[in-house]
Structure 1
Amino acid sequence: MSTNLAPARRTSRRFRGAVAAALVALSLTAVGTVAQADERDDLVREQEQNKAEREKLQSTLEGVDTELAETYLALEDAKTQLPIAQEALAAAEEALAAAERKQEQVAGRLDLAEAEAASLETAIAEGEQEIDTTRSAMGELARSTYRGDNAVNTLTVVLDASSTDDFLKSYAVMESAVRSQTQVLEDLQTAAAVTRNQRERQVAVTERIGELKVEADNAVVAADEARAAAAEHKTEIEQIQADMTVLADKLEEQKVQYSGQLAELEADNAELAREIAAIDEANRKAEEERRRKAAEAERQRLERERAAASRGDARPAPPAPAPPSSNGLLRRPVPTLYVTSSYGYRVYPITGGWFMHNGVDLRSACGNPQHASAGGTVISTKPPWATGTSGNQVMINHGVLGGSSYITVYNHLTRFAVSPGQHVSQGQVIGYTGATGNVTGCHVHFEVWKNGSTIDPMGMPGF
């Protein structure tokens, strides 16, 4: 790989960092600001689905140069993350609008409360002035009555009346004065009660103003945070779009090398097929020799039986054992089967061309053990420089099972646990999951060859 492709790797790494930051910001927005729990669950499911899609995409790029594959995956990541970032931006803008509405509502209620407080302050001052004036008048009247000034009482009215009419007039004046004094006293009591209620209301309004000021401050903070989140998501979108442009340009530059890499992959598969054909031929000859020997042994047994029968003193020999059946003899290379890329023809996403995927890709963490699918002899343990795109590879010859020659192949191992020529039993650890060769992540690549051709392992008994 030429050094002029190094920026693509830096770009992809930088992009992945940006994507990670976007996801963190998105989760914070979903949990802490506006998104409801169900919306957050939807986003989590979407991210998990995107992860599974990416895992499948990684498998489809098996055999492609790692840097080219990373560039393509980074571009696909960008395409995937763009709508997520846009959803986050929409949520942040909605949060900002809600926060600004809240801020306006609180400000309006605060203005009304402060206006009511000012009105109450004026009303209380006027009421207190009225009470003071009334109290002064009542005090003066009380003092005048105590001194006898203009004092009017029933006895005086009776004694001083010169006639009945004069008495009635004087008595009416006296009653009017008493009613006036009573009304003034009632007005004073009413004014005092009103002022007392106004003071209580003033205390409540003052407390409410304090609460509204805190609420208003919180609304301002929320609006500022929502505004900052919206700005951050806009920046993220701009960065993602910029990365997409850079990655798309880089991918176009690297496509020139792609056809050569596919040719290399095809050559590797052809070489593997030739090796397996030679092994199958050896297995066929070994099976023919086994059958010849079995037939010869059976012939000799029958001759012994006939000779013994002619003498009348022999028991029939047991029949020759039947050859083993292949049904259910192959087992899984790993305990759990989660297919990330199926067996069969696949479309390479970079060019849209078709290519045969000779095995099945299974999910497995780096370093997990892989097991021999059946007993047999290790044909080879090849390092990456010898396999080209397949990385560390183990090939096991299981011989003839049920009349067919079986060979299994395990690619991309991080290291070997067996050596060439070694006999292995079914389930024995033969190596450990890795990402050697032209792949972008750890996984199991498992092939089953039957009579010189690959078959789908998932269609076999036990899978």
Structure 2
Amino acid sequence: MHSWGTGRARRAVRLGAALMTVVALAVGGTAAQADSRDDLVREQEQNEAERERLESSLEGVESNLAETYLALEDAKNRLPEAQEELAAAQEALAAAERKQEQVAGRLELAQAEIVTIESAIADSAERIDSTRSAMGELARSTYRGDHAVSSLEVVLDASSTEDFLQSYAVRETAVRAQTQVLDELETASAVTRNQRQRQAAVTERIAELKVEADEAVVAADEARAVAEERKAEIEQIQAEMADLAEQLEEKKVEHTGQIAELEESNAELAREIARIDEENRRAEEARKAEEARRAEEVRKAEEARQLRLAQEAARQAEAARRAATEAGRPAPAPAPAPAPAPAPAPAPAPAPAAPSAALVPPVRPLYVTSPYGYRVYPITGGWFMHNGVDLRSACGNVQVSAAAGTVVSTKPPWQTGTSGNQVIINHGIIGGSSYVTVYNHLSAFAVSPGQRVSQGQAIGRTGATGNVTGCHVHFEVWRNGATIDPMSLPGF
């Protein structure tokens, strides 16, 4: 048998893992997780119900053909999900590639920035070296006395006011030059410190970006692999569908013959039940005729008894009259005829044992997987009458008789064909109508032909014999030679 749920189970596991990850990160994760589990349970139940419905619609179809069709339907159902997964994988791949590009761009900018910073640090180092050289020269000049002229010396050595002003200007220029060199050195040192701090920060950022870039590459590779896997899965499903469709087309001619066989099997069953109904009617008519005959015998016996009583009363009256005449007395008035004693009620003719007015289901609980009535064969699209109702039941579950009656037959698959192991029970006349029930696809019998059974007595076990794809109960109710919907009966 094809595994209907294998693909769905894998996707359910993936979906469940994704859902569990999301709800673990969400606020109120416990409630969300419970909702997700409920959704998955409902989806599983819906899938099982759809599987049962589809299997029931193929009842009467040879198992290989049914399995081919179910496999094709499974592939059709898996294709949209695989396409959705491919779209999601491609979207994830695009996002991963965008992330990879963004990280690479930021890394490139950071690396360019570090080059600029290193160049600036080198320039600052040159300026610091130059400034330090100038300071060294200034220090050496001061040491030699080139610039060590005090203000007092400027005043004392000046020969004139003009000479004083010139000497003082020279001294101030030297002092300013010395101060400027010191300021430049301090500024250059501060700039260099800032640049080195920035260099350290950018270097750290580059290290982080390299890690992030590596992770982005891995994520993109993984997303690409998933997308390729989904694409390959779709191609495999499409190839599988094409192959199964070809197989199905080749087997349609065979299917037409199977439908004809099923129709002939149903017609033969209808003829057999018609014979049972005729026997039930004749038996009922014979029972009623026997009751009428006995009632007529009782009536005639009562009439004879009444006649005898009347004759005896008349005889006694005549004897009394004669005795009175002989004695010279007037004849006594005739005594009134005695009231007839009520005759005992006739014993009714024994009627055949009949079941209770209500029929009971062959299994409980009741869960209909395929209802009574016309349905479409999915392979050909043709209409076909489903004479009974299919009920969910596991292989080996006990099935019981719907009412008291007599087992007409227990037929193996080679006699029934598509119906598999079959039990037919005659329940006789109920409420003026003839009732017969039929149980198909049993795995084992618990009764034998001619056996009397009571309502609720075990008659066999649920199975999948005949042309079916899974264990279930096929139950038919025939009333006066025609099938009726069992679910319309009281108690169903």
TM-score, normalising length from structure 1? 0.79
Shift of 1:390: 0.8
Match of 2:10 among 24, 34, 38: 24
Task: Tell me, yes or no, if structure 1 residue 266 matches structure 2 residue 263.
Answer: yes
Match of 1:131 among 128, 132, 147: 128
The answer to whether the 8 A contact 2:354-2:404 is kept is no
Instruction: Tell me the residue number matched to 1:364.
Output: 393
Match of 2:237 among 240, 246, 250: 240
Return the letter of the residue paired with 1:105.
Answer: Q
Instruction: Tell me the residue number matched to 2:157.
Output: 160
The answer to whether the 8 A contact 2:443-2:462 is kept is yes
Match of 1:201 among 191, 198, 201: 198
Match of 2:227 among 230, 234, 251: 230
Shift of 1:164: 4.1
Shift of 1:256: 2.1
Q: 1:418 to 1:200 in 2, by over 3 A?
A: farther
Instruction: Tell me the residue number matched to 1:436.
Output: 465
The answer to which of 163-172 and 343-352 deviates more is 163-172
Deviations 1:194-248 (A, max 9, x none): 2222222222222222222222222222222333333333333333333333323
Shift of 1:284: 3.8
Shift of 1:388: 0.8
Q: 1:425 to 1:120 in 2, by over 3 A?
A: farther
Q: 1:325 to 1:440 in 2, by over 3 A?
A: closer
Instruction: Tell me the residue number matched to 1:384.
Output: 413
Return the letter of the residue paired with 2:471.
Answer: C
Q: 1:171 to 1:385 in 2, by over 3 A?
A: same
SS at match of 2:191: helix
The answer to whether the 8 A contact 2:262-2:418 is kept is yes
The answer to whether the 8 A contact 2:354-2:428 is kept is no
How far, CA to CA, are the matches of 1:425 and 1:143 in structure 2?
Answer: 132
Shift of 1:434: 2.1
Unaligned runs of 5+ in 1: 1-11, 317-322
SS at match of 2:419: coil
How far, CA to CA, are the matches of 1:137 and 1:52 in structure 2?
Answer: 95
The answer to whether the 8 A contact 1:324-1:402 is kept is no
Match of 2:91 among 51, 70, 94: 94
Shift of 1:437: 0.5
Shift of 1:456: 0.9
Shift of 1:30: 9.2
The answer to whether the 8 A contact 1:22-1:233 is kept is no
Instruction: Tell me the residue number matched to 2:213.
Output: 216
Q: 1:127 to 1:452 in 2, by over 3 A?
A: same
Shift of 1:63: 0.6
How far, CA to CA, are the matches of 2:475 and 2:110 in structure 1?
Answer: 75
* Residues paired across the two proteins, number: 441
The answer to whether the 8 A contact 2:355-2:427 is kept is no
Match of 2:482 among 447, 453, 459: 453
TM-score, normalising length from structure 2? 0.75
Instruction: Tell me the residue number matched to 2:147.
Output: 150
Q: 1:156 to 1:80 in 2, by over 3 A?
A: same
The answer to whether the 8 A contact 1:161-1:167 is kept is yes
Shift of 1:47: 8.1
Match of 1:56 among 45, 53, 57: 53
How far, CA to CA, are the matches of 1:366 and 1:376 in structure 2?
Answer: 25
Instruction: Tell me the residue number matched to 2:62.
Output: 65
Match of 2:76 among 76, 79, 88: 79
How far, CA to CA, are the matches of 1:164 and 1:142 in structure 2?
Answer: 30
Q: Please say which structure displays the higher CA radius of gyration.
A: 2
Task: Tell me, yes or no, if structure 1 residue 407 matches structure 2 residue 440.
Answer: no
How far, CA to CA, are the matches of 1:105 and 1:183 in structure 2?
Answer: 46
Task: Tell me, yes or no, if structure 1 residue 254 matches structure 2 residue 254.
Answer: no
The answer to whether the 8 A contact 2:368-2:390 is kept is yes
Q: 1:117 to 1:294 in 2, by over 3 A?
A: farther
Shift of 1:424: 4.2
Instruction: Tell me the residue number matched to 2:330.
Output: none
The answer to whether the 8 A contact 1:360-1:447 is kept is yes
SS at match of 1:236: helix
The answer to whether the 8 A contact 2:443-2:460 is kept is yes
Task: Tell me, yes or no, if structure 1 residue 111 matches structure 2 residue 108.
Answer: yes
How far, CA to CA, are the matches of 2:183 and 2:245 in structure 1?
Answer: 90
SS at match of 2:418: coil
How far, CA to CA, are the matches of 1:291 and 1:144 in structure 2?
Answer: 153
Instruction: Tell me the residue number matched to 1:320.
Output: none
Return the letter of the residue paired with 2:487.
Answer: M
RMSD: 4.3
Shift of 1:146: 5.1
Return the letter of the residue paired with 1:454.
Answer: T
Task: Tell me, yes or no, if structure 1 residue 373 matches structure 2 residue 396.
Answer: no
The answer to whether the 8 A contact 2:7-2:78 is kept is no
Instruction: Tell me the residue number matched to 1:120.
Output: 117
SS at match of 1:388: helix
Q: 1:325 to 1:48 in 2, by over 3 A?
A: closer
Return the letter of the residue paired with 1:87.
Answer: E
Q: 1:324 to 1:154 in 2, by over 3 A?
A: farther
How far, CA to CA, are the matches of 1:371 and 1:198 in structure 2?
Answer: 93
Shift of 1:25: 6.8
Shift of 1:438: 0.3
Using the aligned pairs only, state the percent identity.
70
SS at match of 1:250: helix
Aligned pairs (5 A) from 1:178-197: 178-197=175-194
Shift of 1:300: 7.8
Deviations 1:360-384 (A, max 9, x none): 1223333333343334443333221
Return the letter of the residue paired with 1:102.
Answer: K
